[in-house]
Structure 1
Amino acid sequence: MRTWLALLCCTATLASAQESSDWLERMGQAGRSYVYSGTVVFMAGAEVSALRVSQVIEDGRVRQNAVNLMGPPQTVVAGGGVAQRTGVTNEPPEYLETPLAVDVPVAANTRVIRHNYQVIVGAEDRVAGRPVRQLSFRPLDQARFARHAWVDIETGLPLRSVVIDGDRVLEQMLFTDVQVSSTSLQQTDAPAPAAAQDWPGVAPDGFELRAVVGSNDRRQWVFTDGLAVVSVFAERAEPGTFPSLHPTGAMRAVTQDAPGARWTAIGDVPEETLRRFLDGVGAS
């Protein structure tokens, strides 16, 4: 792994501000301007999963479907403020308040990304039979993980991504096949950030509050540093009724109990970063 990283550093060229900004803008717009469908393989440690994914844009809103191709049949449909998960049982669909559901952009804010990462534009490659350009994101502090993305040259869609902690690969995602619409749809605007006063704590440097959803019984705050996404949940319930957490890959989870409620921070960042989100919120 160290040899691979050394070769990567030698072959990659430090991008000019304009060049890397252009790629970041393309990534952000692609996620909201194209319809596509394809097969995605996700690897986290020894776990491997495969999904059939698709994206459409309806009435100016992004809607994404993901169908599990391994294990129990399950479909997740995200859009309009919730992510609806359906399985094979007769139980009602479960509504999940997720970063995807509240339309947090995958990568759209060049300023925020540059505040948190050094962006390196690397060599061309191929993923799913399509030409791509590799982008590397080196964190400027210890609050986040390093990342690599292989961006489709034609559309700007990330077709492969890797999250790294030191010399250890935490998770990988790649398209094995993808079909993209030949015509770019009318660009849609990303949701405006939520007001800072909607968060009762102090977020770590570099993270912006993007959305607040839910009710007083279960509320979710969604933060992003441009690449990583952190969700903080405040749930009111009796002790012992909270669900167990089983994060995998780059995902980490930290909980903190307060009278009548539990605070949970989940995201693809180090655990120490999640703890900083929860500092002081239980008493507020």
Structure 2
Amino acid sequence: MLQRLLFLLVVFSSSVFAEEQGGLEWLEKMSRAMKELNYQGTVAFMKNGQLDTMKYSHAAKNGVEQERLLSLNSPMREVIRDSGKISCTFKESQKRIVNHRPVSQSFIIDLPQQISQLAAVYKIVVSGEEAVAMRPARVLDIQPRDDYRYSRKVWLDKQRLLPLKIEVYDLNGAILEQVVFTDLSVEPQIPFLAIDNHEGDMDVQHIHRVQSESFDKIPFQLHNLPVGFNKVFFTRMSMHQSSQPVEHLLLSDGFSSISIYLDEKTEDMEVGLQNVGSVNSFTRIIADSQVTVLGEVPAKTVEYIAQGITFN
């Protein structure tokens, strides 16, 4: 009897491993397709009770990408991601903001450089097949292995391996965010757009990334850090109205990002838990400083991390 139970346990464990490995492999293929293909379509972003429909295009050539979003409704705006910068143009006010920093994350879905790292904190399996935008799709069910992060589903185009739909769910299973293509086409070539920052009466503002500093310079310790969240970068920025620089540490588990801000204490700062849509934040006072932890993660996550912060 014991031998039979052990045999069934081995068979079941092998089956589960194969299922999860298959889910990771489809996610790997999707990541490559998103970077290498030329594609365009209409995409709807639903978040915080608001719907935003935009034209989307992705151009790729010799390993270089350009991604573009163009709004279909007011306020009219265009967002372009190039290697090294993101520019946002507001058509009605004739303003453009150019953020000079390398960004590899797509507008459609955040993915880590190493997909395999997700396996430690997410269970990823193929849960079925459905149609999105009249295209057959595999459904990838992405479940966290703890309740410090949100679950997701990705509808993956069976032919082109591109994401057709993404949903993010809260701990009760309610939809927090949805991104869905209503039409999508893959093209042999999509031309790169040249951005002229000197055109007409356009008011152009350039934002240059603050140089990332060594993690050794972080002035605090994280005693409560959920498994899988790793440090991405740390910056220190001087502010005109403050004698103390604002320090920012970014954490990520591959899907979810969390920011920790250390700033000078202000009288009007609200402490405790705050919520805006899918973003939760927790602020507490430590000595003469205020620490804020925020991200698109459950409320318990930001509070847990914040309560475990101590100064060096």
Residues 201 and 278 in structure 1, CA contact (< 8 A), matched pair in contact too: no
Pick aligned residue for 1:95 from 81, 96, 99: 99
Pairs aligned (count): 256
Pick aligned residue for 1:135 from 117, 128, 140: 140
Q: Secondary structure at the match of 1:93?
A: strand
Give the structure 2 partner of residue 269 of structure 1.
297
Give the structure 2 partner of residue 206 of structure 1.
228
Give the structure 2 partner of residue 50 of structure 1.
53
Distance across 2 between alignment mates of 1:54 and 1:232: 33
Residues 25 and 108 in structure 1, CA contact (< 8 A), matched pair in contact too: no
Distance across 1 between alignment mates of 2:94 and 2:286: 35
The worse-fitting range, judged by mean Cα deviation, of 169-178 and 39-48 is 39-48
Would the alpha carbon gap of residues 176 and 260 (structure 1) be closer, same or farther in structure 2, given more than 3 Å must change? farther
Residues 284 and 291 in structure 2, CA contact (< 8 A), matched pair in contact too: yes
Matched, 1:222 2:240: no
RMSD between superposed Cα atoms in Å:
3.6
Distance across 1 between alignment mates of 2:98 and 2:264: 18
Pick aligned residue for 1:179 from 160, 185, 189: 185
Residues 39 and 186 in structure 2, CA contact (< 8 A), matched pair in contact too: yes
Q: Secondary structure at the match of 2:227?
A: coil
TM-score, with length taken from structure 2: 0.67
Pick aligned residue for 2:76 from 62, 73, 78: 73
Residues 214 and 220 in structure 1, CA contact (< 8 A), matched pair in contact too: yes
The worse-fitting range, judged by mean Cα deviation, of 172-181 and 272-281 is 272-281
Distance across 1 between alignment mates of 2:268 and 2:167: 36
Give the structure 1 partner of residue 6 of structure 2.
none
Q: Give CA-to-partner distance per residue, 1:163-215, whole Å, 9 cap, x none.
A: 112231212110111222458xxxxxxxxxx9754655434321122345674
> Identity percentage over the alignment?
24
Residues 20 and 123 in structure 2, CA contact (< 8 A), matched pair in contact too: no
Distance across 1 between alignment mates of 2:288 and 2:52: 37
Would the alpha carbon gap of residues 214 and 195 (structure 1) be closer, same or farther in structure 2, given more than 3 Å must change? closer
TM-score, with length taken from structure 1: 0.72
Q: Secondary structure at the match of 1:106?
A: coil
**Residue 157 of structure 1, CA deviation:** 2.0
Would the alpha carbon gap of residues 273 and 197 (structure 1) be closer, same or farther in structure 2, given more than 3 Å must change? farther
Distance across 1 between alignment mates of 2:233 and 2:152: 24
Distance across 1 between alignment mates of 2:304 and 2:138: 34
Give the structure 2 partner of residue 187 of structure 1.
none
Structure 1 stretches lacking a partner, 5+ long: 1-12, 184-193
Paired AA for residue 104 in structure 2 = D
Paired AA for residue 126 in structure 2 = V
